[in-house]
Structure 1
């Protein structure tokens, strides 16, 4: 990403970044990601192309920033000291709640960006990467009889499976039911069941 999100943004930079990310989400609710151009993003954000390129290399770079904005709204940093599995359940709950609150926006976006589209595929990849970050491999090296990388992949893929099944494929289930599905599917990797 061209813009360094680790540094504290000025008020002006925050306004500009907000305008670009808001423009991207507005455009995604009326057309596919592939059809969106930088010119349209600039037009909808009321900023010139030169300003866009001060912050982003291209629309893909902006998309990465948009995903980061979504993750920031989940606020997992306060749970960094918890057990990795507890962090994953909190991540799941927060992601479920976030997707529920913004379900109308996601439905509009999915109307123009199919389940097989680049946008949805990219979202799944980015969400999986964020979950692997949450499930810090260094935290669990001695807890499982199988390699921790496999455990992390299994946990992340299971969480994605349930979120996709409910939100992207529109299968109706409550948060309690989704949590039960998650616990059931992850129970085989319980530390007690697979001691090292």
Structure 2
């Protein structure tokens, strides 16, 4: 049976997350304070600290929630094509998310904490991919390398490519980027 979360907690998480994402579009991560976040979200600081140790832990929570939402929206059944279809769709959705949230991403990239924030994000993506690769392997997929190596390789390549793309003054279109990356992955 699925564990139910108190509706008040869900409302608190939603208010904090929405406010946090809005703040990141206007300010650098290091300039956002827990006090400011809580005031704008209309959540008591004590409530914030009951659930999160600090804004870094909250940032990880936001990443995990975003990933969970992505997987709910993009369920693909297991089978021979599951791995390829899943990862190609992951790539498309990731690029689309970046494009849709460009101000947010620019805010993170302009932050003095860029390296730390990207490390947090990369670790979470890598962990998630590793679990997916292991799951694929258990379901009969033949992987070309160990799941952990594949996860770090793809995470690094994706993160650096996105970082490069988002910072280009005269960048290629979202569709062109996706097409180029799909060619690489299809030949992999």
TM-score w.r.t. structure 2 length?
A: 0.76
Once superposed, what is the RMSD of the aligned Cα atoms?
Answer: 3.0
TM-score w.r.t. structure 1 length?
A: 0.73
**Could you say which residue in structure 2 is the equivalent of 1:86?**
85
Stretch moving more, 52-61 or 158-167: 158-167
Alignment of 1:1-196 (within 5 A): 7-75=3-71, 78-79=75-76, 81-82=78-79, 83-107=82-106, 109-110=107-108, 112-113=110-111, 116-134=114-132, 136-140=133-137, 143-144=142-143, 146-169=145-168, 172-187=171-186, 189=188
Stretch moving more, 176-185 or 138-147: 138-147
Task: State the Cα deviation string for residues 93-149 of structure 1 (Å, max 9, x = none).
Answer: 111122222223333x24752584422332233233333333x22423762454443
**Deviation, structure 1 residue 179:** 2.8
CA contact (8 A) 2:165 2:171 kept: yes
> Aligned with 2:75: secondary structure?
helix
Say how many residue pairs are matched.
182
Runs of at least 5 residues in structure 1 that lack an aligned partner in the other structure: 1-5, 190-196
> Aligned with 1:100: secondary structure?
helix
CA contact (8 A) 1:162 1:182 kept: no
CA contact (8 A) 2:122 2:156 kept: no
Runs of at least 5 residues in structure 2 that lack an aligned partner in the other structure: none
